Amino acid sequence: MKLRLGHLYPELMNIYADRGNVECLSRRAQWRGLDVEVVPLGAGAAESLHDLDIILIGGGQDRQQGAASRDLAGAMGARLKDAVAEGTPLLAVCGGYQLMGHRYVAADGAVLEGLGIFDLETKHPGPRSKRCIGDIAVRWEGATIVGFENHGGRTYLGAGTEPLGRVLSGHGNNSEDGAEGARTGTAFGTYLHGSLLPKNPHFADRLLEMALRRREPGFRLDPLDDREEWAAHSAALRKIGLRKG
């Protein structure tokens, strides 16, 4: 079986090691004997969105987000929305996460239109406001996911989108309501950088299984020796005074 992994805007949206999410999924699939093709999806590459198994987009600063927003307003955005509606798993991190909502209002008041895959809006409260920055842990489906956040925007979910998880330590979407990230169907959004997936192998495997079950219903991943990954996860929890749970 072959896994086709789409990396959206790899040159524009890649900050705080977000490219590591692509590498992590590739390796975890290859270790199980799967062939992997990573498809870079730069501006104007809408045709390459055909027949992908997973799509990932990382974070970027406002200038890079602006360029991505303009490209998403055309064929790229339409094809991406279709892919997600058809059940293709999507992981969107930080700036990429913001662009999957309805809009992002930057610190200078500029409005970057998003795709509306998630029912949410993000607004930066202004250049003098404190950033949401630091290590973060989130309760997710009875377990924890860990990462690093650094964002000025505050994200607020609408009724049509549920949070990815609940903040145990850190800021999350807005440092107010305890929500972190967003989930709708097979699309996941989060502020967790660092990169996210290498130290959260259970989340990485969830994405892989969702993708592979579209091709082969009932598909189950063989287990891997994840002692090093879980050691990194536990170290991140200890750093912020929590324990693995």
Assigned token pair, 19: 């490219």
Q: Note the pLDDT of residue 1.
A: 83
pLDDT of residue 245: 53
Question: Has residue 243 got a pLDDT over 80?
Answer: no
Q: In this structure, what DSSP letter does residue 223 have? A: P
Could you write out the DSSP letters of every residue in 30-41? HTTT-EEEEEEE
The hierarchical CATH code for the domain 2-239 is 3.40.50.880
CA distances from 183 to 98, 129, 145, 212, 244 (A): 13, 27, 14, 19, 23
pTM over 0.85: yes
Q: What pLDDT, in 10s, does the model give residues 86-138?
A: 999 999 999 999 999 999 999 999 999 999 999 999 999 998 999 999 999 99
Helix H or strand E encompassing 91 = strand 90-93
pLDDT at 118: 98
Angstrom distance (rounded) from CA 118 to CA 124: 18
pLDDT at 207 over 80: yes
Residue 166 pLDDT = 98
**Which tokens sit at 47?**
């045709």
Kindly state the tokens that stand for 219: 């598909």
Domain boundaries, the chain: 2-239
pLDDT in tens, 12-52: 898 888 999 999 999 999 999 999 999 999 999 999 898 99
pLDDT of residue 17: 84
216 has a pLDDT exceeding 70: yes
Is the model's pLDDT at 56 over the cut of 80?
yes
Q: What does pLDDT average to over the chain?
A: 95
Residues with a catalytic annotation lie at 94, 193
Q: Is it the case that residue 169 has pLDDT exceeding 70? A: yes
**pLDDT at res. 124:** 96
| Residue 244 pLDDT > 80 | no
Q: How far apart are CA 47 and CA 110, in angstroms?
A: 29
pLDDT of residue 58: 95
Q: What pLDDT digit, counting tens, does each position of 192-205 carry?
A: 998 999 999 999 99
Please give the pLDDT value at position 161.
Answer: 95
